[in-house]
Structure 1
């Protein structure tokens, strides 16, 4: 369905029992709401109502012009506005990659709108800042960041039959085709990359402790986030907290290990 919020139109896939507890799912780059497709049947079977949302830059009706429109604060503000449009006072949040970054900030700045948080892959921003300061290996893991911010990023990712994007998504096999095809839509890759181009480290530097019940899911084959950031996330959660560490799983958790991720989400929600 289409949801109008903040003058934009977001694509949202809803499913599960109409009277179930609401779960809002926020995807990462270069995926979209379909990254949760393998997860949703378990959530629906548990009686949950899900809303998987294409975020700004991905929904055709939510692609404002200008890099500044993709500052993380704008994406954070989208979430309560979408909840309002859906008639929801609060929801369980599940976010991966950039979606996790947004979910952390929503939980920190709008805790009354968040029943529980399950953040996947990306840790609390303050834990990441610490890891970047003390671990050269963590800085090396984010070496792709300036590449994605560069004017050449579109060509590097989609050129040569989208070899760059296919290599990045190699662990999810044929499902990579879904996202390659979508990113060939005119303008979509640029607005998705604008999240990187707009981001400033100070945007989330003041994010404090998270008070809502929280699970952080980290995987040991994740090339983006190292162990230090994962472990130090506990320093920034005051609510009930669990770290779920997955072995042999890479960055694309929802598609590499959907059953295990569903278990973590259901355990956090308590159903």
Structure 2
């Protein structure tokens, strides 16, 4: 995959961004999630470039070569959006499409809310949107999982989860990558005092969609830094909820594409949000990918590319 790497000074940090495609191409921003990296979109780059688009792939705040501020509060959702807004400003991007997977999806949804003129279309993979909740999501989880383990609750105390995840970065990534084959990771029924990997079988090989060479890019993203900065994203539910009061009644009015795998555990965790999404995203197109887990742009790249390019051709077309 032939990309160019840029270091942009935006929003008080250095944001590492990779790009590909013609300078005159319409910009499509692809935002990765946890615990991944810009390279998780590797299968989408060449097809998008071939369709005439310019592709931008940031290493999100706290990941890879981008800055990783120490303060937990430096990772709330509007700050993460401001990183991308600043990069778009620096690059002179006035009309864009934004796509996000996993944690990148909430950033994409909120960029659509914040930038109705600039963001012409939005695509989200795995994580739906149904507006600002009545209370911070973490409070709902605390009420629902009083005596049971929940991975997001486990991630809350700084230093606890990263001690477990950082102990063996390669093993941690292999465990997360198991997707639908290892739902015990996020859907486990164990006591609240358990750790994330307690009772979970450790895989001895990579999933078929990730080669050893690809896997090293993922490992390098967290080498030396660990998972702490990325986990800080999970520690800002309350701060994000407070800062987004102005968006409480806002809908995503742009054309929107939503994709999810039928084996993705997020579909079960977010069933209520999925049901409510069409009311908050009135111009929604959504598809469920069969026999597909959480990492759908890697597991089923051909399907993702087909849906994404068809969507872009309809709502963010390349001239000529």
TM-score, normalised relative to structure 2: 0.75
- Structure 1 position 236 matched with structure 2 position 280: yes
Give me the whole-angstrom Cα distance separating, in 1, the residues matched to 2:86 and 2:132: 27
Equivalent residue number for residue 215 of structure 1 = 257
Shift of 1:7: 2.3
* Per-residue CA distance 1:130-173 (angstroms, 9 max, x = gap): 9x8xx99xx67x92111222332112223256433311112544
* Higher percent of residues as helix: 1
Match of 1:189 in 2: 227
Going from structure 1 to structure 2, the CA distance change for 1:10 and 1:91 (only over 3 Å counts) comes to: same
The one of 44, 50, 53 equivalent to 2:55 is 50
- 1:247 maps to 290
Alignment of 1:1-271 (within 5 A): 1-126=6-131, 143-150=150-157, 151-160=159-168, 162-171=170-179, 172=207, 173-174=210-211, 175-186=214-225, 188-200=226-238, 202-203=241-242, 204=244, 206=248, 208-226=250-268, 227-238=271-282, 240-270=283-313, 271=317
Greater radius of gyration (CA)? 2
Deviation at 1:231? 3.4
For the aligned residue pairs, the C-alpha RMSD in angstroms reads 2.7
Contact kept in structure 2, 1:121 and 1:251, CA below 8 Å = yes
For the 8 Å contact 1:127–1:229, the answer to whether it is kept is no
- SS in structure 2 of the partner of residue 24 of structure 1: strand
| Structure 2 residue matching 1:94: 3-state secondary structure | strand
CA distance change for structure 1 residues 127 and 84 in 2, over 3 Å: closer, same or farther?
closer
How far did residue 207 of structure 1 move?
5.8
Q: Give the gaps of 5 or more residues in structure 2.
A: 1-5, 180-206
Cα distance in 1 for partners of 2:310, 2:275 equals 20
Q: Write the deviation string for residues 157-209 of structure 1: whole angstroms up to 9, x where unpaired.
A: 232564333111125444444323321223x4211111112222725572621
